[in-house]
Amino acid sequence: MELLKHTALELGAMIAKGEISSADVTDAVFAAIEAKDKDVNAYIGLSEELAMSQASALDAAADGPLKGVPIAVKDNICTKGVKTTCASKMLADFVPPFDATVVEKLKAAGMPIVGKVNMDEFAMGSTSETSYFGAVKNPHDLTRVPGGSSGGAAAAVAAGEAVCALGSDTGGSIRQPASYCGVTGFKPTYGYVSRYGLVAYASSLDQIGPIAKDVADCAAIMDVIAGHDGRDSTSLNVGHKSYLASLKGDVKGKTIGVPEECFGDGVDEDVKRAVLECAKTYESLGARLLPVKLDFMQSVIPTYYIIATAEASSNLSRYDGVKYGFRADKINSVDDLYAESRSQGFGAEVKMRILLGAFVLSSGYYDAYYKKALNVRDRIIAEFGEVFKRCDALIFPVAPSTAPKLGASLSDSMSMYLSDIFTVPVNLAGLPGLSLPCGVDRGGMPIGAQLIGARGTDAALLDLGFAYQQATNIHRALAGRA
């Protein structure tokens, strides 16, 4: 398992030189899963035979710095012939007949897929406790949550059960678990990575992105998965240089905004300290810090949860017990089939969000809630645009606190929703966001700093993160501790 202390790029270089084989690394991942996952519960399903066969017979046409490096995939991303459950009873036995575009690209790059990682059911949650297959535990403290909904992906990387992973981010679901688990997570600009084959939660917010040990690995994975896809109507047809090749680590002359609203009451003092120290590190590297205001912050949680639940209620209407998915037994009518299949197939959090979404879209309430939320979303986008006229990026916490205890958020839904306050604006505006480990609290739990850029500045944002990680050792220390 010593192999797994290396980054994905380091392993890729060793494989390319013939010092180790892809099968060596993949076998080490499965050994780590065998040793640790009974405690962490990061995986829903493994594809050991498939991954080992991919590792043993790499396609000669595959090329790139990650060739031969195994990867884990969140269980809401379709994998041909391998179960994709969305951590739900509704899809517990669903085997997709096709690969998501990102999975096709991973295979073409010669990256064996070791398995499907655990998550909140249908990506609806911030703790990875709503999974039908049991809660994921934080490797740094098994009594705490790993964050969500990509908690399995972040926990697997933090625990050394995966070299790297793909997650999805609807309101912070890559960045928040990356912060809680002390790893690096990147949410790309909306439309930069194809959503074809991603099981939809909220289609205007969902985006696939990488979770890894460091920024360089995230950039290399972006080089694999990014790009236009005609099968996704929201995919942007924009050219971009290699994200990895764009990493220079020079922040001199950059202006980084520090929003005062994100460091006020409700933010843990240890979190404030660590993130502000991260900002000061940028200042010492030659960047300029600029105090800014984000007047919309009090509106982001209601705006997000109106839009997200409305889209969820529409997207999840397809799970009715007819074509695929769970079907209830002993049914006497079509109405009973729908009602019982959905009542038994969905968990409590999913059902609550479907009901909320149906309410805000219903006759008499559409204008009062959904239409108003869309108007506020436009205002948020406009305000971000004004701020980015003065700043190259923003810095503030990923979450107001470090990882809570298991069960605490489930008993207080509002607390769970408020934990997303610093991540949901990024999804509402379609911006890129990066979570960087920047310290620990008094209990030793990881803290993440969040860098936000304007739309399409993904490469520049990754370069900012790279500069910080070149100048500090926090991400390496946390990666080797869990």
Phi-psi region at 176: left, alpha or beta (left = phi > 0; alpha = psi -120 to 50): alpha
Going by C-alpha positions, the residue among 139, 437, 107, 414 that lies closest to residue 271 is: 437
Q: Which residues pair with 117 in a beta bridge?
A: 43, 74
Q: Are 433 and 449 in contact (CB under 8 A)?
A: no
293 catalytically annotated: no
- Give the Å distances, CA to CA, from 452 to 94, 359, 426: 36, 32, 7
Pairing of strands 433-440, 446-452: antiparallel
Q: Structure tokens of 75?
A: 């269980």
Exactly one of 126, 149, 168, 313 is catalytic; name it.
149
Exactly one of 74, 105, 116, 213 is catalytic; name it.
74
Going by C-alpha positions, the residue among 125, 147, 241 that lies closest to residue 448 is: 147
Ordered strands of the 113-117 beta sheet: 43-46, 113-117, 71-74, 165-169, 207-212, 184-187, 433-440, 446-452, 393-397, 255-259, 288-292
Q: What is the DSSP secondary structure assignment for residue 179, as one 8-state letter?
A: H
Residue 323 contacts by C-beta under 8 Å, 6 or more apart in sequence?
none
Q: Are 223 and 106 in contact (CB under 8 A)?
A: no
Q: Structure tokens of 129?
A: 């406790």
Q: Which residue's entry shows tokens 């197939």?
A: 345
Per-position DSSP letters for 379-394, written without gaps between them = HHHHHHHHHTTT-SEE
173 catalytically annotated: yes
22 catalytically annotated: no
Q: Structure tokens of 367?
A: 């204008």
Exactly one of 131, 173, 194, 341 is catalytic; name it.
173
Q: Which residues are catalytic?
A: 74, 149, 173
